[in-house]
Structures are given as structure tokens and as C-alpha cells.
Amino acid sequence: MFKPVKITSAEIEKVLSDGTANDNYCGLYDEMTKKLKSNLTEAIIKRTLIDGTRLQEEWFPQDIGHFDVFISHSHRDLKLVKCFSYWLNKNLGLRCFVDSVFWKYSEKLLEKIDYEYSRYYDKVARKYMYYYSKRNVTTSNVHCMLTMALMKMMESCELVIFIDSDNSIKYEPDSKKTLSPWIYEEIEMANMLPSKMPKRWIDNPEMAVLNESELKMFTKAVEDTSFFYNARIDRFSVLTSTILQLVKDSYRFETPIADNSLDEIYMGLKTKQGNRFFIG
């Protein structure tokens, strides 16, 4: 990961108003999703000792192609996110990772495991029920798998875009809060992951859109704040529809190239936000 940014749902709506986006994000990446396995789960689960590593590789695979952008969002905004992802790919050439599109829901995996290991028949109630203690174990394991998979994918993407909407963040006079533990987790990951300079800048320093002093300022540690579910998005630079439209317009009749689009976005952030580029 090189840069975390945030964009409001209102700004996304402005971008999508040009009519070039739709929600056909799944169809766009059919070839990638074909790599997802579907026939190993039952065999893995129905064992005395579950192969957690293999299970994680099946449900949260990392070998589904290269992605430029990791999109962090509320599941309530999924339709908007799919349209936005399609727009970014069509107009800027950026491949966007949306976890719920490429990875099966962790809840479904948990259901499969609990059905096999945590279920029992209560003769008094005359129905199947679940052991609380066993579900604690299965839930912690599945959530651990998802957490590690999310962190690996976020680390491999160059740009992290957080969708700032009423569904993801609750703004209060003295704080920003989220009710989602997953959004909280992804924001913290973006804050804690080290910033990696894009390989194209390392291979060819003349391509870098930031100078050495700007890079040092950008990678400077961010002050810590409260711990429990406070959303630390101050480090995230503000991405706007204006910046995205300018990048789109720069191509005119040319085919968009992901690396060039990313560089143009960084330049747009720097120009539009001045010295606030590095601090959110």
C-alpha cells in the first residue's frame, strides 16, 4: 500500500452521473473469479482436524490477479461501490478489489463449519441448536482467516479508497465513529501498514510525482488516538469527483493506463489540497 484516501458517497454520485458506469462489476471480472475454488470445502471441513491454511486459501484466495485499488466500504453501499469500481476500471484502467465480490461471505463459511461441528439436537426443544463454546472457537478462527486475507490484499494494492458514507461513519461533534468492526479494522490496517513506494518510481525515479522531502513527510508516523472503534481517517487524503473527472478527461480517446491514472490522482490530491496532501 502506498496511499489511503477517502471519498464521500455524494462525490461518487457526481462521478457516476456521467452515465458511463453500471453495476456489472462481477461480469467484468468473470475470468478472475473462475479461479475461485468451490469443490474442496466439504472435504476439508469433514475431518477431525480442519486444515485452516487450506480453507483460508480456498475461501480467501490471493491468486486472483493484480489489483491497483482496495475499496473499503459498508456492505450497505455495495451497489454504489460496484458501480464506482466499474467506472474506475472503464475510465481510469484501475482494477479494484471489492471483497464481497471476489470472496465468499465469511458467514457462509462459518455456517458450514458450525453445521458440522457446533450443532446438536435438543430432545426437549425438539430442534437443532448450537453449542455456545464451540461457536466461539469457530467464529474466532474464521474471522482470523478473513482478517489476515484482508490485510494481505490491502498491502498488495497501491491505493486504498475508503467510502465515507452515512452507512460507514457516524460523525459526532468530537469524534468519528463506525458501528462496523470490519470497517474499523480496515481503517486501522490502512493507518498501520507501512507506505511502499510504487515500483515504477523505484525503477525509474524520473517518473516519481513526489519529491524526496514529500515522500518523507507522507510516510511520517501518524499520532495515535482513541482505541475502541474510533475511525482514524484523518490521515486519509480527500479524493473528489473533480480529481477523478480530470484524470478521466486527460485520456480523451486514449486507452486508460492504471499506473498513469494513479500518478494523476496523486498529483490531483497534491494540487487540490496543497500542504494538506499528506495529513488528510
Instruction: Give the rounded percent of residues in the chain with a pLDDT score beyond 90.
Output: 41
Phi, psi at 40, each rounded to 5°: -105, -20
pLDDT in tens, 212-267: 766 665 555 444 433 335 677 877 889 999 999 999 999 987 899 999 999 999 98
Residue with cell 511502499: 196
Distance from C-alpha of 31 to C-alpha of 192, rounded to nearest angstrom: 32
Higher pLDDT, 57 or 160: 160
The reported pLDDT for the residue numbered 227 is 35
pLDDT in tens, 19-34: 777 766 666 566 555 6
CB-based burial of residue 174 (10 Å sphere; 0-12 exposed, 13-18 middle, 19+ buried)?
exposed
Task: Find the range with the poorest average confidence among 79-83, 160-164, 193-197, 215-219.
Answer: 215-219
Distance from C-alpha of 127 to C-alpha of 114, rounded to nearest angstrom: 15
The reported pLDDT for the residue numbered 274 is 42
Q: How many CB atoms lie within 10 A of CB 8?
A: 17
The reported pLDDT for the residue numbered 38 is 54
Nearest to 27 by CA among 82, 107, 93, 81: 82
Higher pLDDT, 56 or 159: 159
The reported pLDDT for the residue numbered 170 is 86
The reported pLDDT for the residue numbered 27 is 66
The reported pLDDT for the residue numbered 175 is 76
pLDDT in tens, 7-20: 999 999 999 988 77
Q: What is the DSSP string of 59-110?
A: HS-S-S---SEEEE--GGGHHHHHHHHHHHHHHH---EE-HHHHS--HHHHH
- In the chain, the amino acid numbered 238 is V
Task: Collapse the DSSP code of 265 into the 3-class scheme (helix H, G, I; strand E, B; otherwise coil) and give the result.
Answer: helix
Task: Find the range with the poorest average confidence among 37-46, 112-121, 137-146, 226-235.
Answer: 226-235
pLDDT in tens, 183-219: 999 999 999 898 888 989 888 888 788 777 666 655 5
Distance from C-alpha of 100 to C-alpha of 106, rounded to nearest angstrom: 9
User: Bridge-partner residues for 160, per DSSP?
Assistant: 4, 70
